[in-house]
Amino acid sequence: MEIGNNTQISEFHLLGLSEKPELQPLLFGLFLSMYLITVCGNLLIILATISDSHLHTPMYFFLSNLSFSDICFTSTTVPKMLVNIQTQSKVITYAGCISQIFFFLVFAVLDDFLLTVLAYDRYVAICHPLHYTAIMNPWLCGKLVLTSWIMSVVYSLLHSLMALRLSFCVLVEIPHFFCELNQVVHLACSDTFLNDMVIYFAAVLLEGGPLTGILYSYCNIVLSICEISSVQGKYKAFSTCVSHLLVVFLFYCTSMGVYLSAGATHSSHTSAKASVMYTVVTPMLNPFIYSLRNKDIKRALKTVFGRETVKGSMTLSLSNT
């Protein structure tokens, strides 16, 4: 096997989800539909949060940031996949692959941190309701989001720089629809021990830590809800958390399922197909989960579209006169 350093590698080949030509139109239509639903759904959440003054609260501030992160998260992988299918090309440049790794990790880890921040927000709201406004002040909310961004960028930059030190073979084929970090590292011709150690330790610290925080927050929330005497009070407290719990369940179960299934089957294509769940399906479902079970979001969206309908009818009547 001929070995070259990373300066000699100009491109990688993304093999995608399937190499069967007859499936490509189906994959293109399916992923284009899911991408458009993801972008439109999350944009509606952001629009509703901005336009309705009743939603100018810490929870909806974090939720709008999560929606923005989900749009960017999906946009790091799906558009490139659609272009490759449409042009019948599997090529991604070396610089493009490293950039994709960086931005994918930024928004994946940002999602992780924002879910933790949302759990903390619900913990304060339910366990310390009298001090909620004082604790979750705009200054703290801003710092929590800013810290999440900084930690995500530092984490992603570390892995991207570690990937730059690797040497690859002359022709590298990635059995995935995007440049997934583990796949890229394990296709290197040089020693990957240091990269593997960084991946494992960083995963434990920056992914296990937030998950622990989420579990701790919701354990306290459940205990506080159990102490509420009225059934209506318990239902109201639980209903404010159920949407977030569904999103947390989807994100962590699908992402952990990817690595567990890949480890069990040792199939790269199986890992690629399983990755669709947390890279595409979960960001697409988040707006539905939050809007379907949230009366405030529904009311805000009705208000926004109600205004647009009124403006449209007024414009039409004026043009007729």
Which tens digits make up the pLDDT trace of 101-118? 999 999 999 999 999 999
Q: What is the mean pLDDT of residues 219-235?
A: 82
For the record, the structure tokens of 129 come out as 């309701």
% pLDDT > 70, the chain: 88
> pLDDT at residue 318 above 50?
no
- Choice between 8 and 298, residue whose per-residue pLDDT is larger: 298
Per-residue model confidence as pLDDT tens digits over 248-273: 888 887 777 666 555 544 455 667 77
- Give the residue, 287 or 263, on which the prediction is more confident: 287
Tokens of 96: 């493009």
**Which tokens hold the place of 190?**
């040089």
Quote the pLDDT of residue 3. Answer: 41
What is the phi/psi pair of residue 180, to 5°? Answer: -80, 135
Average pLDDT of the segment spanning 47-71: 92
User: What's the confidence (pLDDT) of residue 65?
Assistant: 96
**Per-residue pLDDT tens digits for 202-212:** 878 877 888 88
Q: Give the Å distances, CA to CA, from 123 to 25, 191, 215.
A: 46, 45, 11
Model's pTM, two decimal places? 0.87
> 184 or 255: whose pLDDT is higher?
184
Calpha distance 75→71 (Å, rounded): 6
Q: Rounded CA gap, 87 and 83, in Å?
A: 6
Instruction: State the pLDDT at residue 272.
Output: 78
> Which of 70-74, 179-183, 267-271 is predicted most confidently?
70-74
Quote the percentage of the chain above a pLDDT of 90.
Answer: 40
CA contacts within 13 A on the Cβ side of 89? 9
Handedness of CA 301, 32, 253, 179 (dihedral sign): negative
What are residue 6's phi and psi, to 5 degrees? -70, -15
Beta carbons within 10 angstroms of residue 60's beta carbon: 23
Average pLDDT over residues 230-252: 77
Task: Report pLDDT for 54.
Answer: 85
Tell me: pLDDT of 82 over 90: yes
Query: Quick one: pLDDT band at residue 123, thresholds 50, 70, 90?
Result: very high
Out of 117-126, 147-156, 180-189, 291-300, which region has the weakest mean confidence (pLDDT)? Answer: 291-300
Q: What is the mean pLDDT of the chain?
A: 84
The pLDDT value given to residue 171: 73
Lowest mean pLDDT among 72-81, 123-132, 296-305: 296-305
Q: Which domains, from first to last, does the chain contain?
A: 11-297 (1.20.1070.10)
Residue linked to tokens 């995608």: 16
Lowest mean pLDDT among 67-76, 94-103, 165-174, 176-185: 165-174
Position with higher pLDDT, 316 vs 278: 278
